[in-house]
Amino acid sequence: MPDMTSRERIEAAIALKKPDRVPTAPLILQFAGRYGGITGEDYLFDAAKGQAAVEKTFYGLGGWDAWPLFVPIQGMALTMRPIKYRFPGRGLALDASYQVVEEPNMSIEDYDVIANDGYGTFFKRLHGKVYPEYTPEQLGPLRGKLKSEQLENIKRWADRGIPTISGAMTQLPIDDLIQYRSMNELAKDLFRRADKVAKAIEVMTPIVADAGKKGATGSGALGVWLGGLRSNSSFLSMKQFEKFVLPSLVTIVNALVEAGLVVYLHFDQDWTPNLPYLKELPKGRCILATDGTTDLVKAKEILGDRMCLMGDVPATLLTLGTPLEVEDYCRKRIETVGEGGGYILSSGCELPIDSKPENVKAMLESVEKYGR
Amino acid sequence: MAYQARREAALPETLSQLLYDLEEDKVLAEVKERLARNGDPIAIIEECRKGMEVVGKRFEDKEYFITELIMAGEIFGVVMEMVEPAMKGSRASTIGKIVLGTVQGDIHDIGKNIVRTMLKCSGFEVYDLGVDVAPQKFVEKIMEVGSPLVALSALMTTSFNTMKETVEAIAKAGLRDKVKIMVGGGPVNEKVRDYVGADAFGKDVTAAVELSKSFIEVK
């Protein structure tokens, strides 16, 4: 029997089947810039150089089966959301990793703005506050240009047989609020004005689902990225999770799946106690991608017959470990989480910018060694 | 016993209980009332500290999560501000000094801030240098206040090298035998502790407090 194509492998894993070998799809955001030999600033703000660095990284390391998110990531695209960043060459060293500046740009009164005037009105207002340098007239064309570049990149790789999983990026409403308000303020809001937070989430939920649908439908990618960063047991109690996370998670995922899209659940931090709740999500249409904090073996036990699992080579192992240690970690994941299919080997969250290339190679090669 | 159950049993609620049940309004009302009738501010602080200990215990037992720690820390902070004018120069007892900060190049501080709050509640005099702190700043602060403890925080793998440089700067200043160095934060583990040459790694906020106490030999 001939080998499966990369796309067939990824689709088989999502459908909880066993491909000819375990597929692999590291999450490449900033690593490609450094591996490609250009500065972080060029990688994020010069699309042509960024694209060249991505090519160099993919072919230099021997390739893989899919891109979890369209590549390269663009600094400008990050600034389309009302979240402040520090970028390499712009407040940080040229070779640094970009970082979110988490500060309470959203006020307490803004909960009422979301409830009364709508999320769109609030979003525009907050964006104008965080990025006064963009005029409203600039934003439309700029978003259009970024989107068409993303579509070109998705197509470029699809033509070479490498699918992109996420054609649009969304995040759970509570994680958006955490970034707008800051973790510290949002945590207090959950006690002092819980109903206002819940109301805002209710208003945001269908809008987030629509943005995912519009962004990914027809993009050539398999589906939508849905981020869950702090919406789990590392930060929230189960009671808070049930009230502020679960209803919006279920609504958004169902809406995306009904639109024919796969949902890439990019879930950082510790979701282990939250895993049983994910059984509610539609079977064979989600990928749960974790960062090494969630117990992925437990996830296999609880969710193995519901959703594809992805991950989770830890960042510290990729930067400070040895190729043998990485290989050993991957072998164990392939043997346990990969058993019977429904698994994609990947970096836990983003492949760190300072990963040792020999460690990345060891990860990629492990699927051939142990995944057939 | 939870607040509701105690109320039904008609038991009196102590300040410490109100605090660990995160009854913000009731804590503040109680403190206000006690201060109005010249209650001892030190006693108020001690009772709130006891409440914070229970909060820490509940966090360890996974009954409480980060949001509860932040809220409890907030209430404790407001109480401290309220009692301050009544202190008239007297001070709550402290058990030791510690210098804390997120290392150079890294601006993440959620974890660090929670550690700061819990260390303060445990009686430490905390010198928080903030985020993006240069190695030399740590050295200067350790020398200035004579702290036997320093805690370095980081969320990114790229910060491991600056953690290492900070430990080296402390050694170069001749302080390595005089201070215990702890590291913590998202990707930090035993491997990182070994790489940077620190004395200990704390996996979460309760570990950070326990390590700090053990280093200055507080039971």
pLDDT digit string, tens, across residues B150-207: 999 999 999 999 999 999 999 999 999 999 999 999 999 999 999 999 999 999 999 9
**A contact set with B (CB within 8 A):** 86, 92-93, 96-97, 99, 101-102, 183-184, 187-188, 190-192, 233-237, 240, 273, 314-321, 352-355
> What ranges do the domains of chain B cover?
3-87, 96-215
Residue A100 β-bridge partners: A85
Residue B183 β-bridge partners: B152, B201
Determine the pLDDT at residue B9. Answer: 58
Of the candidates A287, A275, A285, the residue with the CA atom closest to the CA atom of residue A255: A285
Pair A130, A82: CB distance under 8 Å:
yes
What secondary structure does DSSP assign to A14-44, as a single string?
HTT---SS--B--B-SSHHHHHTT--HHHHH
Best mutation target among A90, A94, A97, A179 (most B Cβ atoms within 10 Å) is A97
| pLDDT confidence bin for B13, thresholds 50/70/90 | confident
Determine the pLDDT at residue A339. Answer: 97
- ipTM metric: 0.94
Q: Which of B106, B110, B189 sits opposite A184 (nearest CB)?
A: B110
Q: Which two tokens stand for residue A63?
A: 């390739």
The CATH number corresponding to B96-215 among 3.40.1190.20, 3.30.470.20, 3.40.50.280, 1.10.10.10 equals: 3.40.50.280
CA distance B129 to B115: 13
Chain B residues closer than 8 Å to A355 by CB: 157
Pair B48, B15: CB distance under 8 Å:
yes
Q: What is the 3-state secondary structure (H, E, C) of chain B?
A: CCHHHHHHCCCCCCHHHHHHCCCHHHHHHHHHHHHHCCCCHHHHHHHHHHHHHHHHHHHHCCCCCHHHHHHHHHHHHHHHHHHHHHHCCCCCCCCEEEEEEEECCCCCCHHHHHHHHHHHHCCEEEEECCCCECHHHHHHHHHHHCCCEEEEECCCHHHHHHHHHHHHHHHHCCCCCCCEEEEECCCCCHHHHHHHCCCEECCCHHHHHHHHHHHCCCC
Per the listing, tokens 């207002």 go with A125
Q: Which two tokens stand for residue A314?
A: 């830890």
Residue B12: Cβ within 10 Å count: 6
Determine the pLDDT at residue A66. Answer: 98
Q: What are phi and psi of A181, to 5 degrees?
A: -95, -20
Chain B residues closer than 8 Å to A237 by CB: 64-65, 67-68
Which fold does the domain B3-87 belong to in CATH? 1.10.1240
Dihedral class, residue A352 (left if φ above 0, else alpha if ψ from -120 to 50, else beta):
beta
What's the residue count for chain B?
219
Q: What are phi and psi of B191, to 5 degrees?
A: -60, -40
| pLDDT confidence bin for A136, thresholds 50/70/90 | confident
Q: Which two tokens stand for residue B178?
A: 């005089």
Cβ contact (<8 Å) for B157 and A273?
Answer: no
Cβ contact (<8 Å) for A187 and B71?
Answer: yes
CA A201 to chain centre: 20
Q: Looking at the complex, report in whole angstroms how far the Cα of residue A329 sits from the nearest Cα belonging to chain B.
A: 15
For A211-252, what is each residue's pLDDT tens digit?
999 999 999 999 999 999 999 999 999 999 999 999 999 999
Determine the pLDDT at residue B93. Answer: 81
CATH class entry, domain A6-370: alpha beta
Cβ contact (<8 Å) for B110 and A240?
Answer: no
Cβ contact (<8 Å) for B195 and A354?
Answer: no
Best mutation target among B65, B161, B195 (most A Cβ atoms within 10 Å) is B65
Chain B residues closer than 8 Å to A353 by CB: 157-158
pLDDT at A100 over 90: yes
In A309-333, which positions are buried (b, 16+ CB within 10 angstroms) versus exposed (e)?
bbbbbbbbbbbbbebeebbebbeeb
A221-to-A20, A213, A280 alpha-carbon distances in Å: 22, 12, 24
Least confident of A5-19, A117-131, A336-350, B1-15: B1-15
CA distance B134 to B128: 13
**Closest residue of A to B132, CA-based?**
A92
Find residues 75-134 of chain B whose CB sits inside 8 Å of chain A. Answer: 105-108, 110, 113
Best mutation target among B157, B188, B193 (most A Cβ atoms within 10 Å) is B157
B96-102, strands of its sheet edge to edge: B124-128, B96-102, B149-153, B180-184, B200-201
**Closest residue of A to B188, CA-based?**
A316
| pLDDT confidence bin for A346, thresholds 50/70/90 | very high
CA distance B213 to B114: 16
Residue B82 identity:
M
Q: Looking at the complex, report in whole angstroms how far the Cα of residue A317 sits from the nearest Cα belonging to chain B.
A: 9
Q: What angle do CA A187, A112, A172 make, to 5 degrees?
A: 50
Chain A residues closer than 8 Å to B27 by CB: none
Per the listing, tokens 């979460």 go with B204
Determine the pLDDT at residue B4. Answer: 61
Terminus-to-terminus CA distance in chain B, angstroms?
A: 25
Long-range own/partner contacts, residues A139-148 (CB < 8 A, 24 or more apart): A139/A80, A142/A76, A142/A80, A143/A80, A146/A74, A146/A76, A146/A77, A146/A80, A147/A215
CA distance A107 to A184: 13
Q: For the packed helices B66-87 and B110-121, what is the interaxial angle rounded to 10 degrees?
A: 50
CA distance B112 to A274: 25
Determine the pLDDT at residue B2. Answer: 60
CA distance A323 to B180: 32
CA distance A121 to A125: 6
Determine the pLDDT at residue B75. Answer: 97
Could you give the 3-state DSSP secondary structure of residue A195?
helix
Best mutation target among A193, A241, A354, A355 (most B Cβ atoms within 10 Å) is A354
- What letter does residue A160 receive in the DSSP assignment? T
| pLDDT confidence bin for A1, thresholds 50/70/90 | low
A15-to-A36, A282, A288, A335, B53 alpha-carbon distances in Å: 34, 11, 13, 19, 48
Interval B82-99 mean pLDDT: 88
B6-to-A239, B11, B16, B18, B69 alpha-carbon distances in Å: 21, 5, 13, 11, 22
Interval A164-182 mean pLDDT: 98
Cβ contact (<8 Å) for A184 and B64?
Answer: no
